[in-house]
Amino acid sequence: MTTSSLIRRALALVFLTALVIGGSGAFFALQARAFDEATRESRLLLATAQAIRAYTSDQVAPLAYTASSDTFHPETVPSFAAQTVFAEVSSADLAYTYREVALNPTSPTDRPVPFETELINAFRQDDALTERSGRWRRGGHELFYLARPIRIEQEACLSCHSTPDQAPPAMVERYGTENGFGWQMGETIGLQIVTVPIEQEMRGMFELVLALGTGLLVIFLAGYAATSNTINRQLVVPLQALTARAEDVSVGIDDGTPLPDDGASELKRLSASIERLRRSLRRALADRNDHEGQA
């Protein structure tokens, strides 16, 4: 294998290593940044939902039931109010959603899909788990989700969801006696889940990584061409010429032409050293021939 081939292989290896490390590093860094941004946005939406729930529970519900205690107003239910507000947001962008789902919900519309059921069961199995997030492909779109458990921590919740006979008659009349009952204190009955779009960010991330890879490729090709040309001009070609002349001299083919002294300074010094050695050898041979002739 020639020196030129070794150098080219070394350059290619360095480039591939730089491309893999640089590309993968950029990918994971940009992905982490996209997830951090999605997490921040999701938590802001969940905080908004919590604010709507608190306002509904503390301000709206007391006024509604004071005015008409015999009528059930869904708008006074915190989960209904929060989901209704976010439904308006979802109408503008379907990727933004907020749902409160339960394994045994009062309203059939609050039943979880299989993926949400898996999340609920994960929260039920680990009381220390307070949040789950990640990517969720839904309806052919890539979404980022953030979910938190809904646990029964206030006795007031059981006034509507323990048994049908303790629930407001107007609520039982509206939803029936089959769903939304039997909840227990401390039980994880469902979850809050918010989704935000991440598809565009992921696409932009891939495009940026591709641009980075293309830039590295262009830089490598330019550097490879410049380095190869310099090596050929300063090292390979002069070394080949020097090697050819040295081989000729070694087998007795010597027309007296000086050895080439092109190329890098190291090659020039090598050529000069070999040239001095050749001249010394020629003088020694000439002296020996003269001595033999006189004899």
pLDDT on residue 257: 65
Whole-prediction pTM value? 0.68
**Which residues face 101 on adjacent strands?**
191
27-41, 200-214, 229-243: least confidently modelled range: 229-243
Confidence of residue 228 (pLDDT cuts 50, 70, 90): confident
Instruction: Give yes or no: residues 151 and 21 share one domain.
Output: yes
Instruction: Give yes or no: residues 146 and 234 share one domain.
Output: no
pLDDT on residue 264: 61
Mean pLDDT of the chain: 82
Out of 174-178, 228-232, 239-243, the most confident range is 174-178
H/E run at residue 241: helix 237-250
pLDDT on residue 230: 80
Instruction: Give yes or no: residues 160 and 251 share one domain.
Output: no
C-alpha to C-alpha distances, 212 to 13, 17, 218, 221, 230, nearest whole angstrom? 18, 14, 10, 14, 27
How many other C-beta atoms are found inside a 10 Å radius of the C-beta of residue 27? 16
The whole-number average pLDDT for the span 126-135 is: 92
How far is 15 from 21, CA to CA, in rounded Å?
10
Instruction: Give yes or no: residues 171 and 127 share one domain.
Output: yes
- Domain range for 268 is 206-294
C-alpha to C-alpha distances, 92 to 87, 88, 267, nearest whole angstrom? 9, 7, 73
Instruction: Give yes or no: residues 127 and 242 share one domain.
Output: no
Written as one letter, the residue type at 122 is: A
Domain-ending residue, one of 149, 171, 197: 197
Instruction: Give yes or no: residues 81 and 173 share one domain.
Output: yes
Triad 106, 134, 21: Cα angle to 5°: 175
Instruction: Give yes or no: residues 78 and 211 share one domain.
Output: no
Contact 45, 53 (CB under 8 A): no
Instruction: Give yes or no: residues 49 and 146 share one domain.
Output: yes
How far is 73 from 75, CA to CA, in rounded Å?
5
Instruction: Give yes or no: residues 81 and 150 share one domain.
Output: yes
**pLDDT digits over 158-196, tens only?**
878 888 888 888 788 888 888 888 899 989 999 999 999
Better-predicted residue by pLDDT, 195 or 73: 195
How many other C-beta atoms are found inside a 10 Å radius of the C-beta of residue 120? 22
Confidence of residue 58 (pLDDT cuts 50, 70, 90): confident
pLDDT on residue 190: 94
* Residue 238 pLDDT greater than 90, yes or no: no
**How many domains does the chain contain in total?**
2
Instruction: Give yes or no: residues 116 and 162 share one domain.
Output: yes
Instruction: Give yes or no: residues 41 and 163 share one domain.
Output: yes
Tokens of 105: 């919900």
The whole-number average pLDDT for the span 215-225 is: 85
Confidence of residue 251 (pLDDT cuts 50, 70, 90): low
> What percent of the chain lies above the pLDDT cut of 90?
22
Contact 133, 39 (CB under 8 A): yes
pLDDT on residue 290: 65
Contact 195, 143 (CB under 8 A): yes
* Residue 277 pLDDT greater than 80, yes or no: no
Domain-ending residue, one of 176, 197, 218: 197
Domain-ending residue, one of 144, 174, 197: 197
Tokens of 183: 């909840």
Instruction: Give yes or no: residues 221 and 241 share one domain.
Output: yes
